[in-house]
Amino acid sequence: MLIAARGFLAGCTYHCRVTSAKRVLLAKPRGYCAGVDRAVQTVEEALTLYGAPVYVRKQIVHNKHVVSTLEARGAIFVEENEEVPEGSTVVFSAHGVAPEVHEQARARNLKAIDATCPLVTKVHHEAKRFASEDYDILLIGHEGHEEVIGTAGEAPAHIQLVDGPDDVENVVVRDPSKVVWLSQTTLSVDETMETVARLKTKLPLLQSPPSDDICYATSNRQHVVKEIAPDCDVVIVVGSTNSSNSVRLVEVALGAGARAGHLVDYASEIQDEWLEGASTVGVSSGASVPDDLVMEVLAFLAERGFGEVTEYTTAEERLTFSLPQELRRDMKAAAAARELAAAAAARA
Ligand code: SF4
């Protein structure tokens, strides 16, 4: 398998791409974002530090493979705090939780480690601030998604959900001059802008969030897929069906002109008939997907003649987040205790 690089960063446009009988256009950025990387590392470090089992409320990130890998190491995934034995350690997922979940943990004497992505926390802060100023907050997002439940829980009396453009007609506010919209971090950029445009038609004084709520990782992954999709007969996105940003990538690919799009957790789920008659296959992955799963897809495609891979890069990502403060504090204390023990052993 040969991977060549192409990109837009240096001003190279799509016209410079190579052509061949069968090829893969590999999207970059793809896969793990900073928030997912931090959340997965949080569970791994917690397992190392406290030992198994470590309880995790909800899937730490929405990816089947990541969850089963952590389960094999001793993580136990639960739906609610009440399933966690009193006094145990529980990690909250990257999608964020409502304040009442923290209260439940305190009531059960749980040691809670909050792996909420800082970019989700930012939206929580916005919700709290606008609620404290008595705004009506229109939260654009998908009903029932964990992130939306967590954000809405910050100010339930002020927040109403707007689930896509068609939901705008149901919006009712107290004062049209004091309304702001916020959003889930993993939505389709284009669909969200359509929802906002409709909201602004209905509520001309609607305020926008202080900064983009749809996160950099979601936007970047959608942008590159949009660039490659018009030339693809089929786009394969690696990701799980409950991963909002992964599902959006398939929609974006289809909306941008790919003739077909499929979401798979593993290469083994790719059906040979999807590739029949195809000369160009696009490949990307959601923000919760480890890149080795993408490499397995490339190997699968190479075995079927799609051995030439051109990676198209539209952005470089360097963002990283430090681990949750409560975990870092315990790691530091454990390291100090190890040093003391080693010094004592040397003296003995
Ligand atoms: S997709 Fe965005 S908001 Fe979600 S964990 Fe990744 S960086 Fe954070």
Those residues whose C-beta lies under 8 Å from the C-beta of residue 119, and which sit 6 or more positions away, are 35, 185, 215, 216
Q: What is the pLDDT of residue 3?
A: 67
| Residues 128/182, Cβ–Cβ less than 8 Å | no
Distances from the Cα of 43 to the Cα of 48, 133, 330, 344, angstroms: 9, 36, 13, 31
Tell me what pLDDT residue 217 has.
Answer: 98
Residue of 60, 189, 218 best suited for mutating to test ligand 1, as the one with most atoms within 8 Å of CB: 218
Specify the pLDDT at position 213.
96
Distance 39 CA to ligand 1 centre (A): 10
Per-residue DSSP letter, 207: B
Residue 145 labelled as part of a binding site? yes
Ligand 1 proximity of 60 Cβ (cutoff 6 Å): no
Please name each of the domains of the chain with its CATH number. Answer: 2-33+216-313 (3.40.1010.20), 34-117 (3.40.50.11270), 119-202 (3.40.1010.20)
CA 220 to chain centre: 12
171 vs 167: CA distance, rounded Å? 7
**49 contacts: CB under 8 Å, gap ≥ 6:** 327, 330, 331, 334
Q: Judge residue 298's burial from the number of C-beta atoms within 10 Å of its C-beta, 0-12 exposed, 13-18 middle, 19 or more buried.
A: buried
Contact between 300 and 271 under an 8 Å Cβ cutoff? The reply is: no
Dig out the tokens for 203 from the structure. Answer: 């509520």
Interatomic CA distance for residues 98 and 236, integer angstroms = 34
| Cα of 334 from ligand 1 centre, angstroms | 29
Specify the pTM.
0.93
User: Is residue 258 in contact with ligand 1, taking CB distance under 6 Å?
Assistant: no
The tens place of each residue's pLDDT in the chain, 348 residues long, gives: 556 766 544 333 343 444 558 999 999 999 999 999 999 999 999 999 999 999 999 999 999 999 999 999 999 999 999 999 999 999 999 999 999 999 999 999 999 999 999 999 999 999 999 999 999 999 999 999 999 999 999 999 999 999 999 999 999 999 999 999 999 999 999 999 999 999 999 999 999 999 999 999 999 999 999 999 999 999 999 999 999 999 999 999 999 999 999 999 999 999 999 999 999 999 999 999 999 999 999 999 999 999 999 999 999 999 999 999 999 999 999 999 999 999 999 998
**Does the CA dihedral 132-137-140-146 come out positive or negative?**
positive
Can you tell me the distance from the alpha carbon of 122 to that of 89, in angstroms, rounded to the nearest whole number?
25
User: Helix, strand, coil % (nearest 5) of the chain?
Assistant: 45, 20, 35
Q: What confidence score (pLDDT) does residue 18 get?
A: 47
How is the beta sheet containing 89-92 ordered, strand by strand?
75-78, 54-57, 89-92, 111-114
Q: Is the CB of 186 under 6 A from ligand 1?
A: yes
Amino acid at 71: E
pLDDT at 343: 94
